[in-house]
Homo-oligomer: A and B are copies of this chain.
Amino acid sequence: MSSEKRIITISRQYGSGGRQVGALLAEQLGLPFYDKELIGLAAEKSGLAEELFASAETNRSAVNFGQIFTGVWYEPPLSDKVFLAQCAVIRDLAAKGPCIIVGRCSNYVLRDCPNLLNVFIYAAKPLRIKRAVEVYGEAKEKIEEKINLMDKKRSSYFNYYTDLKYGHPENYDLCIDSGYTGVEGAAKLIRAAWEL
Q: Complex Cα distance A47/B196, Å?
A: 45
On whether the beta carbons of A174 and B169 are closer than 8 Å, the reply is no
Question: Given A185-B193, A188-B192, A188-B196, does the pair A174, B173 have CB atoms closer than 8 Å?
Answer: no
Q: Identify the stretch in A19-27, A129-137, A175-183 within 8 Å (CB) of chain B at 4 or more residues.
A: A175-183
With both beta carbons as reference points, the residue of chain B lying nearest to A173 in the complex is identified as B180
List A150-196 residues whose CB lies under 8 Å from chain B: 167-170, 172-177, 180-182, 185, 188-189, 192-193, 196
Number of A interface residues in the complex (CB < 8 A)? 23
Inter-chain contact A177/B185, CB cutoff 8 Å: no
Complex CA gap A124/B117 in Å reads 15
Q: Which of B167, B175, B188 contacts A174 (CB 8 A)?
A: B175
Q: Is the CB of A169 within 8 A of B122?
A: yes
Contact of A177 among B172, B180, B192 (CB under 8 A): B172
Known: A185-B196, A189-B193. A175 touches B169 (CB 8 A): yes
From B169, B170, B172, B180, A193 is in contact (CB under 8 Å) with B180
CA distance A103 to B186 in the complex (A): 25
Q: Is residue A120 within 8 Å, beta carbon to beta carbon, of the partner chain?
A: yes
Give bound CA distance, A167 to B169, whole Å: 7
Distance in Å: Cβ of A142 to nearest Cβ of chain B: 23
User: Per-position contact with B for A114-134: 1 when CB-CB < 8 Å, else 0?
Assistant: 000100101010000000000
Q: Do the beta carbons of A177 and B169 come within 8 Å of each other?
A: yes
What are 17 inter-chain pairs, A to B, with CB distance below 8 A?
A122-B170, A168-B169, A169-B169, A169-B175, A173-B176, A173-B177, A173-B181, A174-B177, A174-B180, A174-B189, A175-B175, A180-B196, A181-B193, A181-B196, A185-B193, A185-B196, A188-B192
